[in-house]
Structure 1
Amino acid sequence: MDEVMKMRVVLAALNAKYIHKNLALRWLYVSRPASFDVQIVEGVIRDDPMNTANRISAYRPDVVGLSVYIFNAEETKALIACLLNLMPEVRIILGGPEVTYHPEPWLKLGVEAVVCGEGETVFWEYLQGKPSPSIQTNHQVSSEVARVDLSLLETMESPYFLELDEADMDKRYLYMETARGCPYDCAYCLSSLEKGMRRFSDAYLDKTFDRLADSGVKQVKFLDRTFNVDPVRALQIARRLTELPSSISFHVELVGDTLGPEIIDFFTSQAKSRFRVEIGVQSFNRKTLLEVGRFSRLDVLKKVILQFSEAGVHQHTDLIAGLPYEDYYSFKQSFNTLFSLNPFEIQVGILKLLHGTRLRRNHETYGYTFTDQAPYPITSSSWMSEEDMKSVESVANAVEKLYNSQKLRHTLSHWVEENKLDAFDLFLKVGNALRTLKHPYSQRDFFRCIADAVKEDVLLPLNRLKGDYYRLSPIYPQPFWEEGELDDQGKEVRKAIRNRLDSNKISVKHMKIVERADGKVGSDVWVYPALGKSHTVLRFDEKYNLESETVYESTHRDA
C-alpha cells in the first residue's frame, strides 16, 4: 500500500552526447527520501524532444526535474513544451547553472519552480512542502544559492556506481568530483560566483577509487574547476589514481602557472600516458587578464605548456576571443604564441556572456553585442568588430578540423616554421576556404580545398599533404591532385620500387609512389595489401634503399 502512495519523480537531462552522463541527476537520485519513486531519463540534444517526452511520460510522473545548462537550454525549452502537451498537470522543476541566475524567464514557460544552486536537499524538501530561500516560483523570489555539506553526501549511496549505469560503464565517461567551488574570480565564469572551496574527505575518495578499479570504466573526467588548487592533495590523488588499472585514463583541469616541479615531473614522465590535462590560457594579453580577474604568470605558464608539449602530454588548451582590451591584433598574438608552444589541442572559443557573471552585468561598459539566446556568444565588442569575430570563427573551425583532429597538426607546424608564416593567418585562409565546401564533402574534397588555399604561401605543399592523405585513408583513395602520364624517370622509379617490393615479398593490391613528405630526395610508397585493415608507408632513399617502414591501422590519426 505504501508503494502506491509514493510520489513518482523523473529526473531528466539532455546531454551533449551519449557518452556523457549527468552527475547532478545521480546525486539527486541517491539523496532521494524513501517516500519517492524516482527514475532517471537521459537523452541527447539532437533527439526529437517529443520522443524524449514520451519516454518520460511512460513512467506517469507526478514531478519532472530537468537539469539545464547553456548547451541544452534551447532543447530543454522544447522538451518542456512537449511534456506539458502530453501531461498538462505534471509539475516541472528546473535546476542547473543556466537557470540558477535568471530563473524568471523559465517560470513563464509553465514550470512550477526553479532550484537555485545545489539541489541534493533543497529539491526534495520542496517536494515535501518545506520552504527554502533557494527556491524561486511565480510567488516567491529566491534569496540565496544553495550549497550542500559534502559530508552529508558522503553518507549516501555512491552516485558513481549505480545499478542503472552498470550495462554501459565502459562506453560512457564517468564524471567525478573531489571538491566543489573555485578559488578564482574570473569575470566570465559562473564558478566565480561560488566563494570558497569544499572538499570530499580523503577517506571517501579512497573508498570511491577502490570501487573504480573493478567498475569497467575506461575514462574518468574530474569536474573540479581547478584540480591542483591544493598541490599536495592533487599530487596525492593523482598518484593514487595511477595505482588503478592501466585501462583507465583521467582528465583533469589545471592552472598551469601554479604547478610545481614535482607535479610537473609526475605529469610529464611518471604518468603522461594516463592523464589528459586541460589548461585555460584565455589570453596572453596582461591587461586583458587583469581586467577579468586572472593573475597569470605568463612566462611560467608558457614554460609549463612547452614542457608538457615536449613530453608528449595530451594537453588541451583554451583561448577566449572577445575579452576586454583584446583587439584583433592582440588575439592574433595570443593565438600565435600558444601555437608556437605546440599543445596537443587548442580550443578557440568565442566569449559567452553567461547570466550572473560580471561581464554579462557590465556588458554595456565593454560595448558588447551578443546573441540573447544560449549559449550567448558575443558578436562584437569595443575592441573587435563583427567582421573580426567572424574571422576568429573561421580560425576556430580550421583549428578544430585540421589541428585538434590530429589530421594535419604536424604538417601545419612544419609549414609555419619552414615558410615563416603567421599561424593565425594560415588558419584563417584555410578556414575561409573550408566555408566554401558544400556538405557533405569527401576527404578528397577536403584535401583539395586545403591545397588550393595554401598554394601561394607554402613551398611544395603537396609533399606533406599527400602523406597525410594516404595516412588517413584506410582504403586506397583516388588522388586529390591532378596527375599526368609518367615520364621515363617516373617509370624507372616505379620499376625499381616494384622490384624492391617483390624481393622483400611484400603483398600489394594498390601502391602509390609520392614525393617524400620530409622533402628529401627519394620516395614514399603507400602500400595497400589485399587482406587486412592496415596500410603501410615505405620510405626509400634516392638509390631505392628502404629507410623505414610504418604501418597504419585504419583508426590511426597521429602523424
Structure 2
Amino acid sequence: MKKLKVLLVGINSQYVHSNLAIRYLKAYTKDLDYNSVIKEFSINDRVERILEELIREKADIIAFSCYIWNREMVRGLSKLIKLVDERIEIIYGGPEVSFDGREFLEKNEGEYLIEGEGEETFRSLIKYKIRGKGPYSVDDEDAFSDKCRLIVNNQTINKEEDIPLNIEGLFYKKGKEVFYGGIRSNIDINQVVFPYDEEDELDNKIVYYEASRGCPFRCKYCLSSVDRNIRFRDIEKVKKELGYLMDKKVRLVKFVDRTFNCDEKFATGIWEFLTNQDTETKFHFEISANILTNNQVNVLSKAPKGRFQFEVGVQTTNNQILKNINRYISFEDVAEKVKEVKALGNISQHLDLIAGLPGEDFHSFKNSFNQVYSIRPEEIQLGFLKILKGSPMMDEKDKWEMKYSPYPPYEILKTKDISYEELLVLKKVESVVDKYYNSGKFNTVLEYFEKQFDNPFDFYYSLGMFFDEKGYFSRNISNAEYYRVFLEFNSEKLRGENKALRNIIKYDYLMFNKKKWIPEFLENENDKRWTKELREKVLSLNLDIDKNKLHVEKFTIDMLNFVKTKEILDKITYLVYDENNLNKIVDVTGLI
C-alpha cells in the first residue's frame, strides 16, 4: 500500500539560510509510518521552478512554513498547486499565519492551518491521515472527543461523521467553513527532537538552533512578548547537539533564543562549553546587554576571538521611547555593558535600532544613531517598525496615529511623530550605513569624512542623499564604483581636493580586493613604472611574507601616520601588503 507522502517546504529569505521549523516537524514524526521530504528554496527562486519541483514529488500533502518574507509567494504557489492537481492537500503553519488562522484559511486555498508551536499538532494530524481516514471521520481517539457534539451554523451535530475534527491548535476547512480545534498548550521543549541528521547538507548554510523558547520581556512590537513562559532545553542535551554541529563543521550556528543570557547559569554553562572546544564554528546569540553580569563578562573574556557574535537590540537611546514600548531599561546601562564586551576584543557586536517607534521623531532617531555610533560596534542595523498581527503594538496603532503597509512585511509608513518623507530619508541612510560601515571594508575612508561633519549621522545623511541624486540606489554599481563614489562625493558635495583622499581610498581598497588590478581612478602618476622595480627591491629585503602573496604599493602621503593620527602629511611612502594577513602592512620606505 502506498505510504502517505508529505512535502515540508521552506522558502527562505536567502539561499544561505535554512528552515528550522520544517526540520522540527520531520524529526518529531520520524517514528510514524509515512514519507516526509524536506524541500527548501529562497524567495529569489522563480515561482515556476518551485512549482515544478513540488509537483514532481507527487506528494499527498504539501506543508508550507510561513513568514513575513514568503507569505505572498506561498499564497500564489498554493493556488497554482490546486490548479495543477486539486487532490494535493495543503497545510500552513508558522508565525505569519498563527494570529489570523481562521481568516487566512477562509481566503486561501488549502485544508489545514497549524497555530503556534506545531510539533504536537502536526503529529496528531499526520497520525490521523496515516490511518486513511477522510478529513472528517471520527474514530481516531487522538483527534476526536465527545465535547465536539456542538451546534454549528445553528444545527446540532449528532452524527459521528459530521463531528468536527478536534485537534488542538488546528484550523481545518470543510467546504467553505473553517473549524478550530482549540488552543494547544506549549510543548515541553525537551520533548522536541533534535532536527538535524546525516542527510542534511549544511555546508555554507547558516544553521539555526533553539536552546529555549519564550522571552522574559514584553516589547510591544514583538510577537515573542506574547509567550513569557520561558522554557530551557536540558543543558547537557544542548551541549551534545552543539557538538554534533561542530563535528559537521558547520560555519555558523545562529541561536534563535530571544534573550539567550536571561538565565545566568544556563548562559555561562553554554558559553564555557563552547569556549573550550577546538572548532572553527562560530555562534551567534541575541542577548540583552543590560543584564550581562560580571560573571558572564568574565566567562566571555576567555572565548577565542571570533567564536561568538552578539546581536543587541538597542532599538532607541531615548529612555522615554523605551518605556513607550515596554522596555524598562536605560540606554546608559546598555552602553556600559556593550563597551565592556567591546573592550574584551574577542566578540563582534551587532546593535539594532528601529525607526518609527511610538513617540520617536526624526531628531530623536538621529540622536540614537549618533550615540550608538559613538560606541563603534562592528555593525549597526537600522530597522523599521513592523506592525505585526498578534503583537501588543497593533492595539496602540491609533493612539500613535500609525499608518503601515497592509502587505508583508507590514512596515510603518508614518506616525504622528515622524513623516513618510523622513522615513524615506532614513531608508537611504540605512543603505549607505549597511554598505559602507557594516562591511568593515571602508574604515579609513569613513574616518576621513567623519572629521568633516558635525556628527556621524550628518555624514551618512549627506552621502545617502548624494547616492539618491546620482541614481545609484536604482541601479547596480560595481565594487570599484563604490570606492569611486567617494571621490565624486568629495569634489561635488564638499568641494574638496582628491589627491590625499585618493591615497586613503586606495589604502582600504588594497586591504580587501585583488591587488593585481587597481582601478585607474586610484592610480597615482608613475605608479605603473615603479611596480616591477619596487617588487624586486622588496623581495631582496627578505621580509617574513610569502613572495607569491606580497604586494607593494606607492602612496604620496604618509598613510600609516594618517591611520594612527588622522593627520595628512605629504610624503612618498611604500607599503607592503601580505595577502595572507590583512592586518600585516609593512612600511618599507626607509629600507628602500
TM-score (norm 1): 0.86
What residue in structure 1 maps to residue 512 of structure 2? 472
Structure 2 unmatched ranges of 5 or more = 129-134, 136-142, 144-165, 563-567
Q: Against the structure 1 CA distance between its residues 197 and 495, is the aligned structure 2 distance closer, same or farther, given a 3 Å change threshold? A: closer
Q: Which amino acid aligns with 2:391?
A: T
List aligned pairs for 1:206-245, cutoff 5 A.
206-245=239-278
Deviations 1:23-80 (A, max 9, x none): 1111100111523221111111111122112222222111111000112222222322
Q: Is the Cα–Cα contact under 8 Å of residues 447 and 465 in structure 1 kept in the other structure?
A: yes
List aligned pairs for 1:163-182, cutoff 5 A.
163-165=198-200, 168-182=201-215
- Confirm or deny that 1:17 pairs with 2:14: yes
What residue in structure 2 maps to residue 380 of structure 1? 414
- Confirm or deny that 1:451 pairs with 2:499: no
Question: 1:520, CA displacement in angstroms?
Answer: 3.7
What residue in structure 1 maps to residue 178 of structure 2? 139
Q: Against the structure 1 CA distance between its residues 494 and 182, is the aligned structure 2 distance closer, same or farther, given a 3 Å change threshold? A: closer
Question: 1:422, CA displacement in angstroms?
Answer: 1.4
- 1:388 match: secondary structure: helix
Distance of 1:308 and 1:16 partners within structure 2: 30
Question: 1:245, CA displacement in angstroms?
Answer: 2.6
Q: Against the structure 1 CA distance between its residues 146 and 135, is the aligned structure 2 distance closer, same or farther, given a 3 Å change threshold? A: farther
- Confirm or deny that 1:265 pairs with 2:284: no
Q: Which amino acid aligns with 1:362?
A: E
Pick aligned residue for 2:62 from 64, 69, 73: 64
Question: 1:146, CA displacement in angstroms?
Answer: 5.1
Deviations 1:163-182 (A, max 9, x none): 320xx333222211111111
Q: Is the Cα–Cα contact under 8 Å of residues 444 and 480 in structure 1 kept in the other structure?
A: no
Q: Is the Cα–Cα contact under 8 Å of residues 426 and 454 in structure 1 kept in the other structure?
A: no
Distance of 1:265 and 1:533 partners within structure 2: 32
Question: 1:333, CA displacement in angstroms?
Answer: 0.3
Question: 1:533, CA displacement in angstroms?
Answer: 8.8
- 1:364 match: secondary structure: coil
Question: 1:463, CA displacement in angstroms?
Answer: 4.1
- 1:182 match: secondary structure: coil
What residue in structure 2 maps to residue 88 of structure 1? 86
Q: Against the structure 1 CA distance between its residues 316 and 545, is the aligned structure 2 distance closer, same or farther, given a 3 Å change threshold? A: same
Structure 1 unmatched ranges of 5 or more = 548-559
Q: Is the Cα–Cα contact under 8 Å of residues 25 and 119 in structure 2 kept in the other structure?
A: yes
What residue in structure 1 maps to residue 152 of structure 2? none
- Confirm or deny that 1:123 pairs with 2:97: no
Q: Against the structure 1 CA distance between its residues 504 and 272, is the aligned structure 2 distance closer, same or farther, given a 3 Å change threshold? A: closer
Larger radius of gyration: 2
Q: Which amino acid aligns with 1:114?
A: L
Question: 1:419, CA displacement in angstroms?
Answer: 3.6
The more displaced of 44-53 and 498-507 is: 498-507
Q: Is the Cα–Cα contact under 8 Å of residues 318 and 331 in structure 2 kept in the other structure?
A: no
What residue in structure 1 maps to residue 541 of structure 2? 504
Distance of 1:533 and 1:247 partners within structure 2: 18
Q: Is the Cα–Cα contact under 8 Å of residues 255 and 280 in structure 1 kept in the other structure?
A: yes
Q: Which amino acid aligns with 1:504?
A: L
Q: Is the Cα–Cα contact under 8 Å of residues 319 and 330 in structure 2 kept in the other structure?
A: no
What residue in structure 2 maps to residue 439 of structure 1? 475
Distance of 2:363 and 2:395 partners within structure 1: 26
Q: Is the Cα–Cα contact under 8 Å of residues 444 and 508 in structure 2 kept in the other structure?
A: no
- 1:270 match: secondary structure: coil
Q: Which amino acid aligns with 1:466?
A: K
Question: 1:410, CA displacement in angstroms?
Answer: 4.6
Question: 1:253, CA displacement in angstroms?
Answer: 0.9
- Confirm or deny that 1:359 pairs with 2:393: yes
Distance of 2:485 and 2:230 partners within structure 1: 49
The more displaced of 225-234 and 433-442 is: 433-442
Number of residue pairs aligned between Structure 1 and Structure 2: 528
Pick aligned residue for 1:159 from 153, 176, 195: 195
Q: Against the structure 1 CA distance between its residues 342 and 65, is the aligned structure 2 distance closer, same or farther, given a 3 Å change threshold? A: same
- 1:47 match: secondary structure: coil
Q: Is the Cα–Cα contact under 8 Å of residues 116 and 142 in structure 1 kept in the other structure?
A: no
Q: Is the Cα–Cα contact under 8 Å of residues 470 and 526 in structure 1 kept in the other structure?
A: no
- Confirm or deny that 1:317 pairs with 2:351: yes
Q: Against the structure 1 CA distance between its residues 439 and 525, is the aligned structure 2 distance closer, same or farther, given a 3 Å change threshold? A: farther
The more displaced of 440-449 and 179-188 is: 440-449
The more displaced of 253-262 and 103-112 is: 103-112
Question: 1:521, CA displacement in angstroms?
Answer: 4.4
Q: Against the structure 1 CA distance between its residues 497 and 545, is the aligned structure 2 distance closer, same or farther, given a 3 Å change threshold? A: farther
Deviations 1:292-332 (A, max 9, x none): 01012322211122223333321111000010111000000
- 1:9 match: secondary structure: strand
What residue in structure 1 maps to residue 147 of structure 2? none
Pick aligned residue for 1:102 from 100, 103, 121: 100
What residue in structure 2 maps to residue 551 of structure 1? none
Deviations 1:450-472 (A, max 9, x none): 23324555785444223112323
Deviations 1:397-417 (A, max 9, x none): 01110011112135324542x
Q: Against the structure 1 CA distance between its residues 537 and 143, is the aligned structure 2 distance closer, same or farther, given a 3 Å change threshold? A: same
Distance of 1:268 and 1:78 partners within structure 2: 49
Q: Is the Cα–Cα contact under 8 Å of residues 117 and 146 in structure 1 kept in the other structure?
A: no
- 1:98 match: secondary structure: coil
What residue in structure 1 maps to residue 443 of structure 2? 409
Q: Is the Cα–Cα contact under 8 Å of residues 16 and 205 in structure 2 kept in the other structure?
A: yes
What residue in structure 1 maps to residue 432 of structure 2? 398
- RMSD of aligned residue pairs (Cα, Å): 3.0
Distance of 1:289 and 1:90 partners within structure 2: 48
Q: Is the Cα–Cα contact under 8 Å of residues 405 and 413 in structure 2 kept in the other structure?
A: yes
Distance of 1:257 and 1:244 partners within structure 2: 27
Q: Which amino acid aligns with 1:281?
A: V
Q: Is the Cα–Cα contact under 8 Å of residues 107 and 113 in structure 1 kept in the other structure?
A: no
Deviations 1:381-404 (A, max 9, x none): 111111110111011001110011
- 2:278 match: secondary structure: coil
